């Protein structure tokens, strides 16, 4: 029987990170994968979706070029070529993580289906293997909601979406969360008519309400139709095309399309792993873990999407986890939203800054957006108040995903907001927006940056900050 220090089931983001860390620390890990090394992020998640979004962004920029005085002639989309590039990018990135790369780092790779037989015993396609510790990194799969007729109606999800070669003329999308929104905008920009349906009352419902309201408006302006607060009664196939029957506030509607994309959540991939037999506790989110990734069985750990905690490729057990929705402009999320913060803390303060106030955004011609900073806990310095600490930051606007990380560093290091406000930011960068937003928490900052609470920008939410006297 082959013996290893650690057996890692699943060679996705979590499994590869675990195996590489184990090997770097001098352990002998084995990485077991039934399908493709790289997992969902590389093959059917982050990488192909962002490559498709990039193509769509180029199309949009070409369409907008005349606004900048640039003539580009007629713009058209060669969809098979777009998808060929998406697949080429996937292959290129997969090439950096294949079995040869893992083995070169001291990781044994086994192909096949892993089943856990006991705390240190597994089989891979029936062949036994022993390991001191086991880490479950089997990821998640798209959830198919229990809608009448859905199982019998051919539809797309992220596992087959990036294999299509023909642009759907009319695309129906079930789900207005991150994946639904990202794909809705990409396909709309590439030329599809897009309808998005969701039971929730807003798009991106996990975002701060001001941010999701702006996101919804931007997407509608691009021609995406949303039917929100809808309950899908059935899905059926008519001459090979999907039809959705909905009920919206008691009224029945039907939507017809050429293709249906289901982006309605994720389920942990735990079937057939043997978890029940050996007593590894799970709930509807996935494998239950503590803050050190330990499951209920000693020696067995779990990480990544299979835990259902933070379904992002970079997430493990951190306090400060930013996430980004790659619509254009991007949406960046960090920590608490304003309603969550106000519910949790009485001393919550909020500052906002519309992108119209950022010179770089004006220069680039992309001023739609908002920076929102949420703080609490002002220290008393002498007889005066200083700035509080960041407990949430939310940005919709160009480069939001990158801007967010200034707030993440401040939050991680528990810095006071005055530190950000005092840090000189090079002009004209988008990052000056971070400084300008935080400065809104201080009278001196507002005097220098302009009092943006007076902003009348139609997209912006008015600032509701109270004053901190010191930029501390």
Give the binding site for ligand FAD (CB under 6 A).
9-15, 32-36, 39-41, 45-46, 49-50, 113-114, 137-139, 158, 179, 269, 273, 304-306, 311-314, 326
Separate counts of helices (H) and strands (E) for the chain: 14, 23
**Shortest distance in whole angstroms from residue 96 CB to ligand FAD:** 15
Residue with tokens 């962004």: 57
Contact 263, 180 (CB under 8 A): yes
170 and 224 Cβ atoms separated by less than 8 Å: no
* DSSP 8-state assignment for residue 282: B
> Residue 376 or residue 394: which is nearer to ligand FAD going by CB?
394
CB 291 to ligand FAD: min, Å: 17
Nearer to ligand FAD, 50 or 225 (CB): 50
- Residue 395 region by backbone torsions, left for phi larger than 0, else alpha for psi between -120 and 50, else beta: beta
Residue 359 Cα distances to 231, 331, 354, 384, 463, angstroms: 43, 20, 11, 32, 19
Collect contacts of 420-426 with beta carbons under 8 A, ≥24 apart. 421/387, 421/445, 421/471, 422/471
* CB-nearer residue toward ligand FAD: 42 or 440: 42
Least separation in angstroms between residue 191's CB and ligand FAD is 20
Rounded to a whole number of angstroms, the minimum distance from the CB of residue 35 to ligand FAD is 4
Nearer of residues 50 and 419 to ligand FAD, judged by Cβ: 50
Question: Smallest gap, in angstroms, from Cβ of residue 313 to ligand FAD?
Answer: 4
CA distances from residue 383 to 379, 380, 394, 447, 468 in whole angstroms, order as listed = 10, 7, 31, 22, 12
Which residue lies nearer to ligand FAD by CB, 189 or 269? Answer: 269
- Minimum separation from the CB atom of position 41 to ligand FAD (A): 4
Beta carbons within 8 Å of 56's beta carbon, 6+ residues apart: 185, 186, 187, 188, 189, 190, 328
Sign of CA dihedral 69, 73, 79, 80: negative
Nearer to ligand FAD, 158 or 432 (CB): 158
Give the residue with the Cβ less far from ligand FAD, 33 or 207. Answer: 33
CA distances for 460 relative to 273, 399, 430, angstroms: 49, 17, 17
CB of 290 to ligand FAD, least distance (A): 17
| Least distance in angstroms from the C-beta of 330 to ligand FAD | 10
Nearer to ligand FAD, 96 or 427 (CB): 96
Give me the least distance between CB of 420 and ligand FAD, in Å please: 25
Q: How far is CA 128 from CA 1, 15, 121, 125, 233, in A?
A: 6, 20, 7, 9, 47
Cβ distance to ligand FAD smaller for residue 326 or 459: 326
Per-residue tokens: 145: 């909601």
Q: How far is the CB of 368 from ligand FAD (least distance, A)?
A: 21
The CA-based angle 162-167-172, given to 5 degrees, is 85
Other Cβ atoms within 10 Å of 402 Cβ, number: 14
CA distance 283 to 308: 9
CB of 43 vs ligand FAD, minimal distance in Å = 8
Greatest Cα pair distance, the chain, in angstroms, is 76
Which of residues 327 and 370 has its CB atom nearest to ligand FAD in the complex? 327
**Closer to ligand FAD at the Cβ: 293 or 441?**
293
Could you give the residue ranges of the DSSP H alpha helices within 263-389?
Answer: 275-278, 338-344, 359-364
């Amino acid at each position: 029987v082959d013996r290893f220090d650690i057996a890692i089931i699943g060679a996705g983001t979590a499994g590869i990170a675990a195996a590489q860390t184990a090997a770097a620390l001098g352990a002998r890990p084995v990485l077991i994968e039934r399908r493709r090394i790289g997992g969902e992020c590389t093959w059917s998640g982050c990488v192909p979706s962002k490559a498709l979004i990039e193509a769509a962004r180029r199309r949009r920029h070409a369409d907008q070029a005349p606004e900048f005085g640039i003539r580009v002639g007629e713009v058209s989309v060669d969809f098979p070529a777009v998808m060929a590039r998406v697949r080429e990018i996937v292959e290129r990135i997969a090439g950096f993580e294949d079995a040869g790369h893992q083995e070169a780092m001291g990781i044994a790779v086994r192909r096949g289906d892993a089943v856990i037989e006991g705390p240190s015993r597994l089989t891979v396609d029936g062949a036994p293997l022993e390991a001191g510790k086991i880490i479950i990194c089997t990821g998640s799969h798209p959830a198919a909601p229990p809608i009448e007729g859905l199982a019998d109606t051919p539809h797309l999800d992220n596992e087959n979406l990036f294999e299509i070669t023909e642009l759907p003329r009319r695309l129906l999308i079930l789900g207005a969360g991150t994946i639904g929104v990202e794909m809705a905008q990409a396909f709309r920009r590439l030329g599809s008519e897009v309808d998005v349906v969701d039971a929730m009352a807003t798009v991106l419902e996990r975002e701060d309400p001001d941010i999701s309201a702006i996101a919804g408006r931007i997407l509608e302006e691009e021609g995406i139709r949303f039917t929100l607060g809808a309950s899908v009664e059935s899905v059926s196939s008519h001459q090979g095309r999907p039809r959705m029957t909905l009920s919206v506030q008691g009224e029945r509607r039907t939507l017809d399309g050429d293709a249906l994309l289901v982006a309605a959540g994720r389920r942990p991939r735990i079937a057939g792993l043997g978890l029940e037999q050996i007593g590894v506790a799970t709930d509807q989110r996935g494998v239950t873990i503590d803050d050190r990734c330990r499951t209920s069985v000693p020696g067995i750990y779990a990480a990544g999407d299979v835990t259902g905690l933070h379904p992002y490729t970079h997430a493990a057990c951190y306090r400060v986890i930013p996430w980004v929705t790659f619509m254009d402009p991007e949406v960046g999320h960090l920590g608490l939203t304003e309603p969550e913060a106000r519910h949790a803390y009485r001393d919550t303060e909020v500052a906002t800054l519309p992108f119209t106030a950022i010179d770089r955004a004006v220069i680039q011609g992309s001023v739609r957006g908002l920076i929102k900073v949420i703080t609490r806990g002002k220290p008393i310095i002498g007889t005066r108040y200083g700035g509080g600490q960041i407990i949430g930051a939310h940005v919709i606007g160009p480069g939001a995903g990158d801007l967010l990380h200034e707030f993440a560093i401040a939050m991680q290091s528990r810095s006071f907001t005055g530190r950000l406000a005092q840090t000189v930011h090079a002009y004209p960068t988008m990052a000056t927006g971070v400084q300008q937003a935080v400065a809104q928490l201080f009278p001196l900052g507002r005097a220098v940056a302009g009092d943006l609470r007076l902003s009348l920008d139609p997209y912006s939410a008015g600032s509701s900050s109270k004053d901190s006297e010191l930029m501390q």
